[in-house]
């Protein structure tokens, strides 16, 4: 929304209220994200559905998307890879490292740490082979931006010094991520999130 200059308000919610009314009527799964668009009256949940809706509704100039095959469908490939690969594996690493009641589950922590590295290696190999700056062609798209929130959490998820390991072992992926987080819209959102977290 920031990239497309769509006015919006972000509501941060405690985990404890997500499975209660009124939020459970917004998202019956009791999770974030969810969106309520006052322009159209639509309420949606699940990140991929929300992004598809925002692109279809507000990216009329195709600033963050392609309209022709094969690029349009290549974007979909990376969108689904983010939802089925990055999101779940990064999320499980967060859970077993920081939130699971039984501490010291080293096999789970190691497994999901290795999956984080695998996801980064897939992106690195793709960017190396295509010699393109972004996942699809030479312009940033919503598919690239979908990876930013979890990538921004690697410092929280992985061991100290992982940033250097990422830079060394997956250099194309690292360079790609650095370009993304340097974008003014992305930087603004990440800075706002950091301030919010610092206030908690």
Q: Does domain 15-58 have CATH number 3.40.50.150?
A: no
| Number of Cα atoms under 13 Å in the Cβ half of residue 73 | 2
Task: Tell me the per-residue pLDDT of 19-76, one tens digit each, with 9 for 90 and over.
Answer: 999 999 999 999 999 999 999 999 999 999 999 999 999 999 999 999 999 999 999 9
Query: For residue 70, what pLDDT is reported?
Result: 97
d(CA 80, CA 61): 23
Residues 77-101 have a mean pLDDT of: 94
Q: Check: CB of residue 180 under 8 Å from CB of residue 174.
A: no
Write the CB contacts of 187 (distance below 8 Å, at least 6 apart in sequence): 181
| Beta bridge pairs of residue 20 | none
Q: What is the pLDDT of residue 196?
A: 86
The CATH architecture to which 71-199 belongs is: Up-down Bundle (1.20)
Indicate the pTM of the whole model.
0.94
| The predicted structure's pLDDT at residue 99 | 87
pLDDT at 200: 66
User: Where do the domains of the chain lie?
Assistant: 15-58, 71-199
Instruction: Give mean pLDDT, residues 141-154.
Output: 97
């Amino acid at each position: 929304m920031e990239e497309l200059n769509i006015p919006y308000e972000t509501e941060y919610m405690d985990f404890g209220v997500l499975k209660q009314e009124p939020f459970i009527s917004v998202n019956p799964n009791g999770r974030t994200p969810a969106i309520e668009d006052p322009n159209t009256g639509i309420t949606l949940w699940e990140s991929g559905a929300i992004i598809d809706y925002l692109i279809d509704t507000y990216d009329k100039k195709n600033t963050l998307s392609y309209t022709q095959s094969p690029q349009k469908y290549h974007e979909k490939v990376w969108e689904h890879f983010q939802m089925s690969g990055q999101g779940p594996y990064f999320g499980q690493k967060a859970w077993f490292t920081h939130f699971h009641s039984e501490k010291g589950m080293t096999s789970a922590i190691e497994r999901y740490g290795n999956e984080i590295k695998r996801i980064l290696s897939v992106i690195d190999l793709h960017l190396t082979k295509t010699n393109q700056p972004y996942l699809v062609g030479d312009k940033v798209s919503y598919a690239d931006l979908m990876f930013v929130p979890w990538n921004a959490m690697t410092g929280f998820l992985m061991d100290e010094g992982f940033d250097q390991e990422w830079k060394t072992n997956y250099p194309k992926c690292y360079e790609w991520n650095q370009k993304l987080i340097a974008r003014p819209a992305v930087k603004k959102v990440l800075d706002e999130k950091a301030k919010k977290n610092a206030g908690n």
